Chains A and B, each alone.
Chain A
Amino acid sequence: MSCSRRDFLRRSIKGGIAASLPLSAFKFLSPAQAKSLVRESGLRWVFLVDTTKCVGCGLCVKACKLENEVPYDVPVTRTWVERYVVTKDGKFHADSPMGGRDGFTEQKIDEQEIPPEEIAKAFFVPKLCNQCENPACVQVCPVGATFQTPEGVVLVDRTWCIGCAYCIMACPYGARFFHPVYRVAEKCTFCYHRISKGMKTACVQACPFGARQIGNFKDENDPVTKTILTQRVAVLKDEYGTKPQVYYIGLDSNVR
């Protein structure tokens, strides 16, 4: 434990110094400020979803469930894919059976057949935890069992969670649920075990179409960062002030 903490510190010091160099070159810092810059991580994980590329195959959901040991045959899931079909009368129909785990192979939505000629537009929207900058779920945890890491990922401490479901209630995105085996709050971790080893998340890797991408927002050369900064992107439900960090290309006003 102490060893890995040292590693962690060493890495954050390196990253911190790298990140703070341009700043610190121009001004003197008080010891407290210098310390804060060192503690600051050079990483901020963000996610980019290009809904125009998603075909609704659901391979991301399958990979996520198997990678993260969320029981396969239950509706709860860390990531899911929603289907939206907007008909020519302006109404929208949406579904996400089993979170889109098996993809979308039928035209029926909620037992309802929608004739192809009535469809004005239709698309798929992958969803996952937004790893908010101001996570409402963390704010309401009574015991400090869920928290934000220095890289911006929100994790759950399975040894300390009391299972009150307050965080589940506080999340405006429906990203949280109770783990069916461990009986504690469960959520997407951006595959923390993978990204901290330099790998992509399971869903990003599984997506054949590049609809999902993960990147470091503190690295201005990261392609994801470049896209977010240079293209028109949107986030889900920003009215809650949670500052979600999953950015979307091709979002529609019908998307919930």
Chain B
Amino acid sequence: MSDIYVHGLEWTVKELFTYPNEFIYWSVQIVMYPYMTGLVAGAFVLSSLYHVFGQEDLKDMARFALVFSLALLPVATMPLLMHLQQPFRALNPMFTPHFTSAIAAFGIVFSTYGMIVLSEIWFVYRTYFVEQYLALQGKTGAANTLRRLVYAIFTLGAFDTSEAAVAKDHKAVKILAGVGIPVACFLHGYAGFIFGSVKANALWMSPLMPVIFIMSAVVSGIALCMVTYIVIMEFKKFQATLARGRGDESVQIIGGVETDVIRKASRYLLGFMVAAISLELLDLIFRGYTAMKSWDILRSVMYGKDFINIFVLQYGIGNLLPFFMLLIGRTTIRKTAIACLLVLFGVFMMRWNVVIGGQAFSLSFAGYMHYKLPIIPHNIETFKEGLFGALTVAVTPFVIFYVLNKFVPAMNYGTNGAKLSNN
């Protein structure tokens, strides 16, 4: 027979008694999947805090978070496509959804959510699109014509920028942001449900799983937005300083990161972190106290084989350390940025410990499986489900954001003259 490939054989190391068909079937891409959807959901919730609850000091951050969640959106599907053994059948769940499966709803919830985000962005930026379109009128050159065409399409033919029309836009944004929050939570909560409902898996099966996933999703989303916001603003400040140094007086002074924005955002971050960590600890304590049949093997994995991954990397470096960094002392940009990076790392480790940790022990409860992340790929599978596949997924949102920013400026558009009347 041609081309025999046993999925999982290459990266699974078995120990003691395991069933012959057991391997790490859900590898690093399934770690990336809830991580990326979590970032999408979190970024959107952050933007909604301003749009719905009127948290004025999050205004700058909100607009940025919204565009960033759009950049993350297509990336949430990437790990799934890379994981599927039949990626060309990826649309089957949309065609014949079997709704008793937690995965079946993904396509539908995800598309709904995507439409909400796109619509919201359209309402926020519609005036800007019209202005750009009008500004480009009469300008010659292929690039300008193309840009004008793009903006014309972006407006969907709605060129009315009267006060009444803009007021309607505002109202629509508010409604969409409000509807978006439950949808974003559902999108991610059900990613937790995918794991929580697997009754065969002793580590995953827990009704708390969806809630834990939502909380850590918001945590990671806020942290990513903060880091990216800080990096971009500082970079722009740096650029402006350079330009001024060269005597280019036309460049306006850019203030860099607004400390108030960061302080406010980190307060939300802390709140959600408390919720996330409490739920995770509750889950752990409950398992230990009830000590069901599976507890012996779970304990040997959590307190033994995965101790460093769980208690040092996830809880220690990923949760407690940044928690106190954000809580204690003066808020400085650098400290906040480092704390947010640690939080992002912590949430990633949480996903890793759930997905890979859940497969670290055999269904026989008498053996172990160890995941050896493929580093250097030697075939398509070891690329897709290895380090470089995961990195590809991790880098893509920033590439998309870069391109998106050319047409839909996520921040700072006040400085280049094209002002947004909306917001």
Contacts and interface: CB of A to CB of B under 8 A. Distances in A.
Interface of A: 69, 71, 74-77, 80, 92-96, 98-99, 110, 127, 136, 139-145, 160-166, 168-178, 180-181, 183-184, 239-241, 256
Contacts of B194: 166
B93 A181 contact: no
Contacts of A75: 6, 9, 20-21
Interface of B: 1-9, 16-17, 19-23, 25-26, 80, 83-86, 89-90, 92-93, 95-98, 100-104, 106, 194, 197-201, 293, 362-366
A194 B288 CA distance: 48
B25 A165 contact: yes
B7 A172 contact: no
Contacts of B5: 180, 183
Name A's interface SS: loop
A93 B16 CA distance: 9
Nearest to B199: A240
Contacts, number: 149
Name B's interface SS: loop
Given A162-B93, A169-B198, A171-B200, A256 B4 contact: no
What are the 10 closest A-B residue pairs judged by CB atoms, nearest first?
A163-B85, A174-B19, A256-B364, A142-B103, A172-B200, A177-B21, A99-B20, A142-B104, A165-B25, A142-B101
Given A140-B198, A160-B92, A71 B85 contact: no
Given A163-B85, A164-B103, A183-B85, A74 B96 contact: no
A169 B293 CA distance: 19
Contact of B25 (A93, A160, A168): A168
A92 B364 CA distance: 12
Given A143-B93, A163-B84, A240 B98 contact: no
Nearest to A61: B20
Nearest to A176: B21
Contacts of A180: 4-7
B384 to A, nearest CB: 12
A240 B21 contact: no
A104 B3 CA distance: 29
A170 B200 contact: yes
8 contacts: A75-B6, A76-B6, A96-B19, A162-B93, A163-B86, A164-B84, A173-B363, A174-B362
Nearest to A175: B21
